[in-house]
Amino acid sequence: MKTRLLLILLSLVVLVGFLAWLLFLRPEAVIKKPLPKDVIEQPTPTPAPPQRAVLLFAGSDGLLHPELRQIPLPVERDERVRVLVHALLEGPRGRLVPIFPYRAELLGVFVDLHDRAFVDLSPPDTAPGGSTMECNLVYGVVNTILLNTDLKAVQLLFGGREVESLGGHLVLSRPLSLNKAFIGQ
Amino acid sequence: MKMKRLALTVLLLMSARLVPAQNIDKTLSFQYQGMQIQAPKFRARITLAPMMKLIGGEMVYSEAAGVWALGFSDHLIQISPERKLLLIDGELMEADEMPLSAPDGVAVSLSYLQHYVLAPFGLHLEKIPSGYAIREGASFGSPLVIHPIIADFGETTTMVLALDEAAEATVETDDKGHILVHFPRNSPRLDLSRRFESRNILSIQAGHNSVEIVPAAGIGVISKNFLHSPERVVLELGKVRPTPSPAPEQAPPPPRHRQGPPIVVIDPGHGGPDTGALGPKGLAEKQLTLSVAKKLASRLRNMGYAVRLTRTKDEARALSDRVALANRLEAAIFVSLHVNSSTARSVRGAETYYMSLDQKASDAAAQSIAEVENAVSGKKRSSASGLDLILWDMAQSEVLNESAALALDIQLRLNTLLGIKDRGVKQAPFVVLTGATMPAALVEIGFLSNPGEAAQLESNSHQQELAEAIASGIRDFLGSR
């Protein structure tokens, strides 16, 4: 009788221990456990009313030309850069020509304390040839961002890396400032 | 009864085995101010959410930006999963490794946690028997943030490694000619927010306890200074005497003030695996540039100039080596030939570019050097570097003005002799023109992306006309000096 009682007690202890392990210590349970609200709460996005943005695409003369478009431009500078670059990646809606000779993706945007944006794009499989193609891509992005924000310079990164140049023409190892030489009349 | 005992034994064995196993393999214990957590591991990394909760920090995800923002004690770190780049209090940094996307956010290695999360928060990890304790303050071997500032002054380059705090440092050159700045008590971290461009430095990267600088061929440390207030290592790099070679037949260096006809260096763009632009029938830019360059060289020699080509066959040439040849020969001018292309297929015509320093960036680099150097009044380099800056600026301005005149002379000849559409002279920061100490221009002779013009460019007679026009432009420029 005494032995049976001891066995029942032991079994109970083991079962309670096992249940506790299942509930609290099992790694999957920890990972799936919802985070506290203050940790996962999304930042309240600043309302972005549609504004007139100047987007630069290539014209039939090989220079950059503006396409004016009403798009919501967030107040946050990195978000605003992201919206602008996405609009450039989507391409023009009118008579102009895309500035990207390949299907590029925006990988990331950083804005530093010196008012410089770092725009990380997916790299092309093969370097686009020709100064005009490269200048249109680079200054299409750089000038569009600088014309629509209070940022001072933009550096393009490709695949998360700083590159000396995209096709052996423009220096891309530093941030570039506004260059109106490539914007047509 | 026997069955019950057996079942009990199995159950005990299972629970005894399972609980310690998950503690060792799946979690890691962290303590902070008397509190302890078991942080779950994800692919051998630590998930950050419980860590931030432990230290009382905040962790917020911006889905639109794809960035996790970590906040603690007025410091802000922004991390993107699967990216090495991160922002620490607004400064862009490149980590040694990437954080991973984890089920509850982002997971990092212990090293990343120490260097890029806890250290900016003023905390550090300490190994204890049960796991790790998070303590206040910086640890021994804490990361040392280094702000490299680099500027070329003529043939030499000044590199200032501005340090966030005092640190023991030594400088040595390894057998490959790489310059190693050792910080034996610190793990250096490079601040990448300040970009640099130098003809004498190919790359700079942080290692475990050192910063490795890869200089261009023949460049080494001329002088090194360890200065304080602010803390910095100042290196002057330039041409160093090459190791004596057993081969006696070394090409004699060009005389300082060379006699004879002006040397024109022609650079046929691209080459080797770098084909450049491709025409509709597969004609490569590298072939066209070489063909026109040879015709141009021949025409210029007939005009009485000495001519050198940066390549005479289909081979790869580093962009920096091309202008370096012109500098070494003390050439009168440097002209790089290219063929254009555009996403707009109808575009045609020739255009000529010359170098833009992107004055804001150049000024900022020069100003940074001046600020750091002038921080120590009365130090021996202060006045010298100020003078160097002025002289360097003056020399660059003069070269740029002459480059603009050269580009215009070539473009005018291309317009008038060929009647092709004037696409004008433009200014942009071109890699191949960087560091030229003489007037330099890049000529795009036409558009391979335009089928009509591509066919024209293939013709031998059109190439000869282009060479004639460019040669006339060069003669106009050199004749007017």
Does the structure show a pLDDT above 50 at B250? no
Average pLDDT (A63-81) is 92
Q: Is the pLDDT of residue B94 over 80?
A: no
A21-52 pLDDT tens trace: 655 554 443 333 443 444 444 455 566 778 88
Q: Do B40 and A30 touch (CB under 8 A)?
A: yes
Cis status, amide bond into B246, omega within 30 of 0: no
Residue listed under structure tokens 């889905």: B63
Helix (H, G, I), strand (E, B) or coil at B291: helix
Size of interface A-B (CB pairs under 8 A): 219
CB–CB contact A173 B197 (8 Å): yes
According to DSSP, the β-strands at B263-268 and B306-309 are parallel
Check: CB of residue B275 under 8 Å from CB of residue B286.
yes
Contact A7 B8 (CB under 8 A): yes
Strand intervals (E) in B191-258: 201-206, 210-215, 219-227, 232-239
CB contact under 8 A, B428 and A62: no
The mean pLDDT of B415-442, rounded to a whole number, is 82
B272 pLDDT higher than 50: yes
Instruction: Determine whether the interchain pair B80/A113 forms a contact, defined as Cβ–Cβ distance below 8 Å.
Output: no
Helix (H, G, I), strand (E, B) or coil at B238: strand
**More confident position, A106 or B214:** A106
Q: Does residue B188 have a pLDDT over 70? A: yes
Best residue in A97, A131, A134, A152 for a mutation probing chain B (most B CBs within 10 Å)? A131
Using the predicted structure, report yes or no on whether residue B11 has a pLDDT greater than 50: no
Residues B289-301 have pLDDT tens digits of 999 999 999 999 9
Decide if B146 contacts B161 (C-beta within 8 A): yes
Q: Please check the confidence at residue B87 and state whether its pLDDT lies above 90.
A: no
Residues of chain A positioned with their CB less than 8 A from the CB of B196: 173-174
List B78's β-bridge partners, or say none.
Answer: B69, B87
Residue B102, pLDDT score? 84
Pairwise CA distance, residues B251 & B240, whole Å = 17
pLDDT in tens, B375-385: 433 333 333 34
**Can you give the pLDDT at residue B382?**
36
pLDDT value, residue B281: 84
Asked if residue B17 has pLDDT above 70, the reply is: no
Query: In chain A, what are the domain boundaries?
Result: 50-182
Tell me which chain A residue has its CA closest to the CA of residue B48: A39
Residue A183, amino acid: I
Average pLDDT, integer, range B319-329: 89
What residues of B are in contact with residue A136 (Cβ under 8 Å)?
342-343
**What is the reported pLDDT for B381?**
37
Does the distance separating the beta carbons of B103 and A32 come in below 8 Å? Answer: yes
Is the per-residue pLDDT at B31 higher than 50?
Answer: yes
A184 in reach of chain B (CB within 8 A)? no
- Highest averaged pLDDT of the listed ranges B56-70, B84-98, B105-119, B420-434: B105-119
Task: Assess whether pLDDT exceeds 50 at residue B459.
Answer: yes
Helix (H) or strand (E) segment spanning residue B55: helix B48-55
Mark yes or no for CB contact B196/A58 under 8 Å.
Answer: no
What stretches of B318-369 adopt beta strand conformation (E)? 333-340, 350-355
* pLDDT tens digits, B102-139: 877 888 988 888 888 998 888 888 878 788 889 887 65
Decide: A70 and A52 in contact? Cβ < 8 Å: yes
User: What is the pLDDT, as a whole number, of residue A158?
Assistant: 94
CA distance B437 to B166: 38
Residue-wise pLDDT for A117-132, tens only, equals 999 999 998 877 788 9
Q: Chain B residues with CB inside 8 Å of A18's CB? A: 11, 15
Contacts of B358 in chain A (CB under 8 A): 171, 174, 176-177
More confident residue, A21 or A95: A95
Residue among A167, A76, A173 nearest A124 (CA): A167
Comparing CB atoms, the residue among B40, B83, B277 nearest residue A129 is: B277
Q: Does A35 touch chain B (CB under 8 A)?
A: yes
Contact assessment for residue B413 and residue B443, using Cβ atoms and an 8 Å cutoff: no
More reliable by pLDDT, A110 or B281: A110
Spatial distance between the Cα atoms of B367 and B378, rounded to a whole number of angstroms: 18
How much is the pLDDT for B441? 95
- Closest approach of B247 to chain A, Cα-based (Å): 35
Residue B279 CB neighbours (<10 A): 23
pLDDT value at B256 more than 60: no
Instruction: Give me the interface pTM, i.e. the ipTM.
Output: 0.71
pLDDT at A148: 95
On the question of pLDDT at B302 being above 60, the answer is yes
- Coil, helix or strand for B31? strand
Tell me which chain B residues have a C-beta less than 8 angstroms from the C-beta of A77. Answer: none
Radius of gyration (Cα) for chain B, nearest Å? Answer: 30
Residues above pLDDT 70, as percent of chain A: 84
Nearest CA in chain A to B103: A31
Least confident of A168-172, B316-320, B390-394: B390-394
